[in-house]
Amino acid sequence: MSKLLAVLLSCLLLPRVPADGVQQQLRRSELAGARLAVCVLDVETGERLYAQALDEPMAPASNMKVLTTAAALSLLGAEHAFATRLLAAAAPDDQGVVAGDVVVLGGADPCLREDLLAHEGVQDPADLLADLLEAAGVRRIEGRLVLDDGLLDREWLHPDWKAGDIGNDYAAPIGALSLHGNCLTLLVEGSGPRATLATLVEGFRVRDELLAGPTSRTYEVGALRPDADGMVRVQGRIGCAVEAQAVRVPVIDPAAFLGQCLLARLHQRGVLVRGGLIVEAGAAARAPHELARLESPLVNAVLLASKESDNGLADHLFKYLGATRGGEGSFAGGEQAVLGYLRQLGTPVEGVVLRDGSGLSARDRVTARLLADVLRAMALRRDAAGAAFLRSLPVAGLDGSLRDRMQDGALLGAVRAKTGYISGVSCLSGLARTEKGRTLAFSILINDFDPRFSNKQMKAIQDDICRALVTQR
């Protein structure tokens, strides 16, 4: 038997995706007037099994994180680690005195946050930095605590992000020094009512403007970003029976915020910093002695960026790729780095626009072909980067942003995919394991759907398409 005939026969024996089943879902009335792009391909063979508007540039929402995390793992490697370095001109003397400044050199590490360090028993990453300085013998700093954030630019918020977003923790600033996800944590409770600052930090105060709610369970609370004097206003109504609730508020300057948290921890330990605090890019050049360093694995950031759709982690990765692979530590540099990775794959990038790494920008544009090709490329890898990428995708009915979706027997655990939603946009891209044991890469991009319909309805359609893929005969 010739090799060509064997290949043809093997293709005939492969079960086909029920195109009618996919098309049936795409003809549903909820999608009337919406723009749709869909791609389904076989991971093993590369055969394209279903395509609609394959190369139409579409807004991806958080499906953008597929590209960001794949690029980060591919360009940097699964073993890569971020580093935050503590520097001085010279080691402390026998009394633990640093004669000059101590410089905190930012390495764009977004992982200095409680949820990513809880497994190590760390309750406050600023305390961890203070531990490192104490372990290096520092008991007093005669100079200043200098925050060097020069690795990334200071366009902390993307100009595309909507004004209604930037007061929320999912649109916190992106900089080379990051702590607590660059958010203050406040505690509000109905008894009082009252609001207090939970983050140990210098230079911030709370203005409690809470009112008693009309019922014991009322909870209508919000907080404004701190003003230039560090004042955080907490407003709204809260019922007397509401127990303590955490409210996260983005700060303005992430580097200064890290410094203010570290100062508070040092002062708590009796470590005096005579010169106060300053933010200065490039300060590390005059501090050649490394007192200590704190490293965080890249895979930790990738895991949570995708699994829980964390915008801050994804945009830190994006800018960091710009700094290390794209010419500059900016959103524009991130675009160049990720586009470079996509070109290496050989997939078309015409019409692709990557404004940020999270998909929060409504001006991002990708194609269904591109997303499916990247998913296939990562699924075919037999290395640590491929394994980390697959592990980061939410699993249907089990974890991440898919924990409450596709929980029935056929789909439970059979789909790993990235969700995505911004106004008028609902997307799902990932990998589906069919009942016949075949792995399919797919991308479902829905744009401009009728505002009479909800994202919940769009997600139901996506789930039904996945059901058609998984249960193919």
CATH code at position 409: 3.40.710.10
CA distance 91 to 45: 59
Residue 6: the pLDDT is 40
- Looking up tokens 């929320």 gives 168
Residue 48: the pLDDT is 94
How many folded domains does the chain comprise?
A: 2
Catalytic-residue membership of 216: no
> Does residue 239 share a domain with residue 192?
yes
Residue 20: the pLDDT is 72
User: Is 4 contained in some domain?
Assistant: no
Residue 473: the pLDDT is 63
Domain boundary, last residue among 298, 327, 346:
298
Catalytic-residue membership of 309: yes
Catalytic-residue membership of 62: yes
CATH at 273: 3.50.80.20
CB half-sphere exposure, 405, CA atoms < 13 A: 26
- Which run of H or E residues covers position 37? strand 35-42
Residue-number span of the structural domain to which 238 is assigned: 81-298
| pLDDT tens, per residue, the chain with 473 residues | 444 444 333 333 344 555 678 889 999 999 999 999 999 999 999 999 999 999 999 999 999 999 999 999 999 999 999 999 999 999 999 999 999 999 999 999 999 999 999 888 888 999 999 999 999 999 999 999 999 999 999 999 999 999 999 999 999 999 999 999 999 999 999 998 999 999 999 999 999 999 999 999 999 999 999 999 999 999 999 999 999 999 999 999 999 999 999 999 999 999 999 999 999 999 999 999 999 999 999 999 999 999 999 999 999 999 999 999 989 999 999 999 999 999 999 989 999 999 999 999 999 999 999 999 999 999 999 999 999 999 999 999 999 999 999 998 889 999 999 999 999 999 999 999 999 999 999 999 999 999 999 999 999 999 999 999 999 76
- From 296, 306, 309, 330, the catalytic residue: 309
CA distance 430 to 440: 8
Residue 111: the pLDDT is 97
Domain boundary, last residue among 298, 333, 363:
298
> Does residue 243 share a domain with residue 133?
yes
In 78-167, which residue ranges form alpha helices assigned H by DSSP?
114-117, 125-135
> Does residue 353 share a domain with residue 422?
yes
- From 65, 307, 319, 418, the catalytic residue: 65
> Does residue 254 share a domain with residue 206?
yes
Q: Is the peptide bond before 297 cis (omega within 30 degrees of 0)?
A: no
> Does residue 108 share a domain with residue 225?
yes
- Looking up tokens 């099994």 gives 49
CA distance 34 to 22: 16
